[in-house]
Structure 1
Amino acid sequence: MGMTRRGIAAAGVALAMACTVAAPAAAEPAMWAVRDADSTIYLFGTAHAVRRDTGWKTKKIDAAMKASRQLWLEISDDLATSQATMAVILKKYGLDQTKPLSQKLTEAQRVRLAAVLKPYGMPMAQLEPMRPWLAAVTLGTLPFVKAGLDPVAGADRTLRIVAVAEKDQIHGFETPEQQIRFLADFSEAEQLAFLDSAMQEAEKGPAELTTMATAWENGDVPTLARIVTTDMKQESPLLYDKLLVARNIDWAGRIKTMLAGKGTIFVAVGVGHLVGPDSVQAQLAKSGINAVRL
């Protein structure tokens, strides 16, 4: 989902990555592969929202998709199903009918939130029924619009369309409800800290998102890791541990199981999960499985 401070939906450096990283021959999003004698698993870092004029789907990516008989995404639902499912889940976990958001904030937070919302033209009343985590997620999406990034054109959605056309099996590492509950199960104090973080990002505006979009298009792993993982680890360690590290460990275990089978599989998850010192590749390396940058 890319539900990080910036990816949310969400979501996600040449630090101490425990994988082989070589500079790409041409500008293209980053992709890796893990292999054994009878299996190949491609690891592709997606952007959940992209600029519509981005020609990111290269011949290398096309060839990897054609060779694969399975596509694994964060969630497997198509766009229409996902939106309908999310609407039900958000009503269940994201709204508070008893206490408006403003009553959970300090006076300083209320003033700051109103100031953050003003340039985006969003009234505070729109956030009032939301629990703090959902208000944070909503706030986090606003700079994406100003940066010209479109979730409908997201890389994972595009790859799903390709997989359907190729009659590939489509699987999800998580369900929509699981993804929502990563945030909904935070304590109220943790949710308010998340909202503070989201306000900080919204105050920065779209500039950093534009930098991140360019880094993704170019496969610039160090820049992606700095923006997505290094900053998050320093500013929001709780989010870092729960939304990145714990999930990376889980997904790496499942990829290890896939590798024990046979065939070719394409894994496409938010690029934030494939960069930085706690990436999926770093977790695989702990089991002696090395990912090679293609």
Structure 2
Amino acid sequence: MSAIAAGLCGSARAGPAHDWPLWVIRSGGGVVYLTGEIPPEATDWSDARTEALLPQCGVLWTETGRTNRAPVGPLIVRYGFDAKIPLMSRLDATDKDRLAKAAALAHLPVERLSQFRPWLAAQQLDDAYNHVRGLKGLSANQVLSADAQKAGISVQSEFAAQDDFIAWFGALSPEEDLQRLRATLDDMLAPPEDAERANADWLRGDDRRSAAEVARMKRVYPEMYRLLLLDRNRAWIPRIKTMLQDPKPSLIVVGSYHLVGPDSILAQLRAERLPVKRL
């Protein structure tokens, strides 16, 4: 996963698990495996059980493709910069104070963010904070995508290329854009142990803390929640139905927040009466 794509996962950090969360959907002879990932750790992601499934699959599905059709730099400028409306003019006093605190944690001068749209400021802060904390390990997406390419297994993505992902963020409304930044500031300024406990629980099969955070996102940032989670969760269902028609299994990797709560991909599958079981 690229630095830009990392912001789409929607979860915080946690330690390794012996049995990484993994689900299977079986229908009409078709098989789809579904798993979640968290943002980068200090070490590369690894799970023997999930990795052993990949060679049996005909396709690996991820959230964001790793290629780009055009140079990324001009795309970032086009969709992520706004010289006419400086970032600080979009923020109230509380936002500015929180932004300053988050920038200090990330060792990033606030002035460097001045021409960024809120979504890009959020991404830059998150990437810099990961760097400061030494979170440079490869994600599940990166590890599995590299393995799939080596094995000649097709890799397909919700956003086929980086261009599509950047343009998607570029299409955020002003309110969605601002909510994206505020949610990132919430994550950065919260006690790290809160996220660590939530993810440790999720990895053990207890999603109550993660579901509570998703519910808070829905309550506090409803526009961003709809766009970032609800709409995209719903869009996975027809894709999965198509995958179930394939002769070989498919393996899907999404951010862990897409797998918790009443609007999750798992809940959407059950609503469609597609049998899903945790392995």
Q: Which moved more, 1:122-131 or 1:28-37?
A: 28-37
Partner of 1:233: 218
Query: TM-score under structure 1 normalisation?
Result: 0.80
Displacement after TM superposition at 1:216 (Å): 5.3
Is 1:96 aligned to residue 82 of structure 2? yes
Match of 2:51 among 51, 55, 62: 62
Change (3 A) 1:206 1:162: same
Query: TM-score under structure 2 normalisation?
Result: 0.84
Query: For residues 7-54 of structure 1, what are the alpha-carbon distances to aligned partners after superposition, in whole Å with 9 as ceiling and x for unaligned?
Result: 724336xxxxxxxxxxxxx83221101112432110111224233066
How far apart are the structure 2 equivalents of 1:221 and 1:200? 20
Displacement after TM superposition at 1:2 (Å): 11
Partner of 1:8: 7
Match of 2:186 among 188, 197, 200: 200
Is 1:223 aligned to residue 203 of structure 2? no
Does the CA contact (< 8 Å) of 1:2 and 1:8 recur in 2? no
Does the CA contact (< 8 Å) of 2:32 and 2:251 recur in 1? yes
Match of 2:174 among 182, 188, 201: 188
Change (3 A) 1:201 1:182: same
Displacement after TM superposition at 1:184 (Å): 2.4
Does the CA contact (< 8 Å) of 1:2 and 1:10 recur in 2? no
Partner of 2:264: 279
Q: Which moved more, 1:107-116 or 1:128-137?
A: 107-116
Change (3 A) 1:53 1:130: closer
Does the CA contact (< 8 Å) of 1:9 and 1:48 recur in 2? no
Displacement after TM superposition at 1:282 (Å): 1.6
Does the CA contact (< 8 Å) of 1:127 and 1:135 recur in 2? yes
Q: Which has the higher contact order (CA 8 A, sep 6+)?
A: 1
Partner of 1:28: 19
Partner of 2:115: 129
Match of 2:141 among 145, 156, 159: 156
Describe how 1:70-81 pairs up with structure 2 within 5 A: 70-77=59-66, 81=67
Partner of 1:19: none
Partner of 1:52: 43
Partner of 1:178: 164
Is 1:248 aligned to residue 233 of structure 2? yes
Displacement after TM superposition at 1:205 (Å): 5.0
Displacement after TM superposition at 1:215 (Å): 4.1
How far apart are the structure 2 equivalents of 1:240 and 1:216? 20
AA matched with 1:276: G
How far apart are the structure 2 equivalents of 1:86 and 1:252? 30
Change (3 A) 1:282 1:44: same
Describe how 1:205-216 pairs up with structure 2 within 5 A: 205-215=191-201
AA matched with 1:241: R
Structure 2 unmatched runs, 5+: 12-16
Q: Percent identity?
A: 28
Query: For residues 233-291 of structure 1, what are the alpha-carbon distances to aligned partners after superposition, in whole Å with 9 as ceiling and x for unaligned?
Result: 22212121111110111111111111133221111111221222111122122221011
AA matched with 2:65: S
Partner of 1:113: 99
Total equivalences in the alignment: 271
Give the match's secondary structure for 1:232. Answer: helix
Change (3 A) 1:167 1:190: closer
Displacement after TM superposition at 1:147 (Å): 4.8
How far apart are the structure 2 equivalents of 1:117 and 1:211? 24
Query: For residues 64-107 of structure 1, what are the alpha-carbon distances to aligned partners after superposition, in whole Å with 9 as ceiling and x for unaligned?
Result: 11211211111232xxx469854342221000123322233334
Partner of 1:22: none
Does the CA contact (< 8 Å) of 1:2 and 1:11 recur in 2? no
Displacement after TM superposition at 1:139 (Å): 2.7
Partner of 1:16: none
Displacement after TM superposition at 1:172 (Å): 1.0
AA matched with 1:43: L
Change (3 A) 1:236 1:211: same
How far apart are the structure 1 equivalents of 2:253 and 2:183? 27
How far apart are the structure 1 equivalents of 2:104 and 2:10? 25
How far apart are the structure 2 equivalents of 1:267 and 1:214? 21
AA matched with 1:34: I
How far apart are the structure 1 equivalents of 2:65 and 2:261? 25
